[in-house]
A and B are shown apart, each in its own frame.
Chain A
Amino acid sequence: MIAGPLLLLIVPLVMAGVVYILLRWASLSALLSVGTALALGIAVVTLPLDQPVPVYFWGERQIVMGEAVTFLGRELVLGQADRVAMAFLFLTAAGLFFLAWRVAPRSLIFPMGLGLLSLLSGALLIRPLVYSALLVEIAAALSVFALQAEGQPATRGGIRYLTFTTLALPGVLVTHWLLERYVLTPDETGLLNMAAVLLAISFALLLGIVPFHTWVPAVAGDSVPLAGTFVLTVGNGAVWFLLLDFLETYPWLSTHPHFGSLFSTAGLAMVVVGGLLAPAQRRLGPLMGYGALVDSGGALIALGMHSRLGLTLVLLSLVVRPFGLALMATGLSGLRARNGDDDSFDALRGLGWKAPWSTAALIFGGLSVAGLPVSAGFIWRWPLCRALAPSSPGLALLLLLAGGGVMTGVWRGLSALLVRSRPPEGDRFPRVTSEGWLTAAVVAVVILGCVGIGLLPQVLAPLAAHLAETYTFFAP
């Protein structure tokens, strides 16, 4: 009998080693990474939690996904909510590996990404939750290797991400001790308040909430773009699910009198800072980071609504965020590769004509991150604005304006990319791009996916609503 949680921990870790050895064969290592993440993602979704499933190619062995397993004296449990979280992590990673196959071949994102998947799975499955913080911290340290581009100066994004994650660690660990002490002395309610404050600070650091947001644009701007996206989607997604696990495990957190105002204020600060700074950027990388900041801010505002609808929107935002950021990162990678790793607007002038697919990826990704129509990001941002409008019209307006701010930044980038430079003699513009048909096909598939979700929100929305039902802390 093989316990599912153990499978989710060990398989990616083993494959990380294999992929690292095979890294020189770009397509093989990339496709192995995609295959591993995809297979595990599908297995998590499709295999039943409570029934053994025979493994035909492995003797008489059977897999039980829901079986709890003890690892280093701690329990690993795959619950219903964790199941979807796991599927999100693995499938998002598979998508990012698929894009990295074309735009970042032979990069450390493949082995490190698989290693991170193992650690982040452990973080979501391990009980008590205190160990999650340690695993997230180890994952952050490992991600620095993926964020650092070969032959480039040391990434400021990596070191900042590591710094903020390390600073978040003590709060979560001490919270666990405070809560254990509270069980022994229930009269000391001050312990709960202290635990709530420490948790709030720790998650503010982990999620990049203003004023602890400086790592977000740094990760997006000063590292391998798809590795940065991995951190901002898979890593950040794991932190979000961890936050939801905390809210589920300790219901007094969600009933705290300042819960709604705290999340709304934090989200508003992110939306305002991101919305103001995004159009002022002169480089595409930090622009993507500020776009991600606005996106996270919107999700925090949704959680601050303190309702099942808000939770559904949070989960929907997590599911669709990778589309926008991954597309932007793909475009950014393509443009940087053709421009000596310089992504400033001045340096990119006219490059859009030479790299049309990268430009298209950037634009459609930008649309989604800004939450504009005909993009995946629109399907949760618009319902959020509509839900906020009756009670907090100012908040809804600011959210819309912040989306406009991000789009203004993207528009400025597009204007620079599409400047018509002086044509070479004989030919106005190069008719053949250097991007290759395979890269074009991969980008086209993801763009179609992003637009398709934007046009058909009914595909993902029920899934998010169903997932929201697995959490009971906002139940009436």
Chain B
Amino acid sequence: MTLRVGIVGGGSFGRGLATAAARAGNDVVLWSRSARGGETAGFRTTDALGEVARAELLFVAVPSPHVREVARALGAHLDGAHLLVHVSRGLIGDELRSITRVLREETPVVRLGALAGPLVAEALAAGTPSGAVVGTLFPEVGAAVRQAIGGETLRIYTTDDVAGVEVGSALVGMLALATGFAMGIGSGPAALAVLCTRGLAEAQRVGARLGARERTFSGLAGFGDLVSAVAGDERPEIRLGRALAQGASLDEAARAAGAYIEGVSIARRVTRFAEGAGVEAPIAAATAAVVDGVLSPRDAMRSLMARQATPE
């Protein structure tokens, strides 16, 4: 039985999802503000939210700062029967509110999920082997995502630790940016390994304050996603970090990366949140300082290395 799948957001990730879902034989419609209608790569496009709301499973694939606005408009067409999954790598505001929470606040949908992991637009579109994890309390949401995009080349795992998936995915974005800096200043594999390992430990500490379980960070949404970024999956965060390390301004670097980068603003917000919650987050603080031009990437790395080492 084919599934009606709706994609909200016409960026590269949204198009990748639509291509993958269409390839799996589903009935797919993609909404974007600038859609002209018609059919490409096996799916229809539309600029009417009411059209996309006819689907049973909806993916929200817009950058996190736009989620609330899009969800509000979309919410007017939804009811309790919809399944809503977002792929936004981000946390909102200074209290690091999760995207599922925002979706709940703006739409009547309760069966929500977050899709994360080492899944990039190119792999989705091309169907190269990859994997992802759905964080949801509802097994039927995981099953629907599996039916929509899972298959021979894409393994979809599930977990009920929604907070873990959302925090993991957002903070890996930030760590990828930091790793990009480190690569840009010529750090060796061992330095990158220390940065990534301690970065994940930091993400776990922050996550615990937001209701996440530690072990989720060793899964695809945390460890898996970070390995993929470091192994060179052409992630925009890495490109941005490298460009900044080579002396580009934030604007130039963002242009070079060619995508919205959540990591830029989240580093500042995680730093503030961690201070308020009494959690140590030195890597977030150093990343924020580099992004804001307070420290050079080299000085930031030096300040991290100079910290007192404690039992792991």
The reply to whether chain A is a binding partner of chain B is no
